Amino acid sequence: MMGMGLAVSASTVAPAVRRSGRRSGCRASASASGTKTEAFSPRDFRRALNKSETYNRRGFGHEDAVKGIMEKDFTSSLIQEMRDDPSKSVTRGNVTVRLADSYGFCWGVERAIQIAFEARIQYPEDTIHITNEIIHNPGVNQNLSDMGVKFIPVDKETGAKDFGAVKPGDVVILPAFGASVQEMKLLSENGNKIVDTTCPWVSKVWNAVDKYDRNGHTSVLHGKYAHEESIATASFAGTYLIIKDMAEAEYVAEYILHGGDRDAFLRKFSNAVSEGFDPDVHLDKIGVSNQTTMLKGETEAIAKFLEGTMMKKFGVEHVAEHYMMQDTICDATQERQDAMYSLVDDSSLDLMLVVGGYNSSNTSHLQEIAEGKGLPSFWVDNEKRLVDVNVIEHLTFDHQLLTTEGWLKPGPLKVGITSGASTPDKSMDRVLEEIFRQKAIIDAQ
């Protein structure tokens, strides 16, 4: 596994990964020779890795140096002006902008960026790699690239990551979303220095699925099976099923209560179940958790619905034996969603702007809230999406890329604005400055 040729394929890290055995816990199994061998335990591996001298998840003490970089590249006097104003608003010409009460960089994201930037300072001469985007923001990832951090290449067709260029002794950063246990094990065995920026809220989900596993429950994860965070979480679960929405939860509940076509079930969730998953066996005991960036209300509704399903199946008096739930909803995600619900209730708003990376799950849900309210809302990842005067290219929450003309009306205009947890204030600043520029042209005509 060392040096050139080192690779992790989609079959080892994606949720479609088939992992041997019913459980990932440390238990004996019979080998071909008839002797007992201990199964690999992600939990035990994590504990051992935490004690390793080549593993760091706390940073390197270069906070002051990094603070200067982040203030220069990520902060905005315009956003600060709105933040300081009691009304959370600012007016430029005919445009009044109201800022959400909670928006932008969360603590976990700031922590991840700081540790990654510190790693470059700590290891000025070392080759540094990162297993994925540090966060879902193109500008921040470009910052790392400009610092000489190399992104592990991914085969677009197979999803396989090529670790061939990672030499023993190189530094490897794990992003805020985390990394699969297979990747961690590979890097540990390769003798790499691991800098782990995984958000503690993501680690909390890992602890939850580990607890479910040790109690003999299948982890039912509300998330997107191809998302990096769900990939990592699935690798720490024993038996798992990933569902994306209430419709899939209802499909699962129907199978739990009445059975069904096993092969059809497995085809439907072919990319979202653990190896050897059998819906006739592995849905008798379930534990619910979530990808931290999902809509809080949807996760809660799915959890309550599945709890009710297990009550119907096994009786209220036995539900505790068959159902578990730990609160793994990220505080920052919840705060931004709550702030968005509050902002879109402002009837004086003419339109809503959501700023954030197009592959950002938490940003997509902010856009979903605005669209659900019926408020004209435009999700952009940078100011270049304002492609011409009164012409905007934008994404819907279900990822349709649209171009809209005439979206800025003449005269007074009130705009609400928020941003995803991976979005620096500077990104919002640039979008707003472009709106102010275009609106001045429109009003002068």
Report which DSSP code applies to 35: -
Sheet holding 55-56, edge to edge: 55-56, 193-196, 171-174, 128-130, 150-151
Q: What are phi and psi of 332, to 5 degrees?
A: -65, -40
| b/e per residue 257-286 (b: at least 16 CB within 10 A) | eeeeeeeebeebbeebbbeebebeebbbbb
Q: Is 229 a catalytic residue?
A: yes
Q: What are phi and psi of 213, to 5 degrees?
A: -60, -45
Q: What's the CA gap between 396 and 345, in Å, rounded?
A: 20
SS3 content of the chain, % helix, strand, coil (to 5): 40, 20, 40
Q: What's the CA gap between 242 and 302, in Å, rounded?
A: 12
Query: Residue 231: CA atoms inside 13 Å, Cβ hemisphere, count?
Result: 25
| Angle, CA 272 vertex, CA 379 and CA 27 arms, to 5° | 130
- Pick the catalytic residue: 133, 229, 248, 368? 229
Lookup: tokens for 180 = 């699969």
- First CA to last CA distance, the chain: 66
Q: Is the dihedral of CA 130, 50, 67, 356 positive or negative?
A: positive
Q: What are phi and psi of 287, to 5 degrees?
A: -130, 130
**Three-class secondary structure of residue 352 per DSSP:** strand
Contact, 176 vs 134, CB < 8 A? Answer: yes
Q: What's the CA gap between 419 and 134, in Å, rounded?
A: 17
Catalytic residue IDs:
229
